[in-house]
Every structure is written in C-alpha cells, then in structure tokens.
Amino acid sequence: MNIFLYKIMAPWYNGAMLHKSISSLKKRRDDLLEQLHRIPNLMRGVVYEKTHKCGRKSCACASGGPRHPTRQLTVTLCGRTQTRYVRVEEMEDVERLIEAYHDLWRIIEELTEVNLDLLRGGHPREEEETR
Ligand SMILES: [Zn+2]
C-alpha cells in the first residue's frame, strides 16, 4: 500500500497491518507451510560438553592435566530425563536432528503469528483490494 492511500485510510487502519496485507500474510503462511513440509527427521534434546578423568593413573588427567572432553545428550520424555553419551562421529547427526527440532518450532511460532494476524483480519476495504 502506498503512503498516500494509507493516510486516507488511517482513521480505520490498524497500524500492525501497515506492512502486512492479507495477500502478503497468506503468501507468508504458504511459504511457512512449505518449509514445514520440508522439515527433516528431528529430535528434541540438549548436548552438553563436559570433561572427565579417564581413570588411568598414568594419564595426564590424573595429575591435574587436561581432562577428556565428552558430549552428553539429555532429553526429558514424559517427565523422565534420559542421558546418553554422544560419540564424536555421531555428533554431526545429533546436532542436525536437534537443529531441525528448533527449525520446526521457529516455523510454528511464525505460523501462529501469521494466522493470528489473519484472524484479526485487515480493514474490509483492503480485502476488497486484494480479491
Ligand atoms: Zn585421562
């Protein structure tokens, strides 16, 4: 919408709708649904990097030297927290799965925002414009 038209419609116009016409909201919704359908395999969880002593008396870690890094995957399911070690070679896959989970939530949040705006609707005149 150009600024001149906005000034004419200003008394009725919802400020939040200024940059969000119904048609652009619908396009955004369709884009997000498209992204949603492309979400790959996923899982919830957090990977913590920790260090530990290996237990060998001859190892430098036993006498204050650098400890050994490990990665621990933690996830709570049905109120029960589950933990397991992640091997170095598994790390990339696990990170990808968790990243997809966060992508899914980002899409859900944006979709919710867009659908909320669509429910509020625009000014009736604007709907006529985009029909
Ligand atoms: Zn050690």
Here the tokens at position 1 are 């919408």
| Ligand 1 centroid, distance to 55 Cα (angstroms) | 6
Domain boundaries of the chain, sorted by first residue: 19-130
Distance between CA atoms of residues 22 and 31, nearest Å: 14
Per-residue pLDDT of the chain (131 residues; tens, 9 = 90+): 445 544 445 445 555 555 568 999 999 999 999 999 999 999 999 999 999 999 999 999 999 999 999 999 999 999 999 999 999 999 999 999 999 999 999 999 999 999 999 998 755 555 445 44
Per-residue pLDDT, 1: 45
Measured in Å, residue 63 CA sits from the centre of ligand 1 at: 9
Q: What is the pLDDT of residue 131?
A: 45
45 Cα to the center of ligand 1, angstroms: 28
**For residue 109, how far is its CA from the centre of ligand 1 (angstroms)?**
45
Instruction: Say which residue the tokens 């009736």 belong to.
Output: 124
Ligand 1 centre to CA of 60 (Å) is 6
pTM of this prediction?
0.69
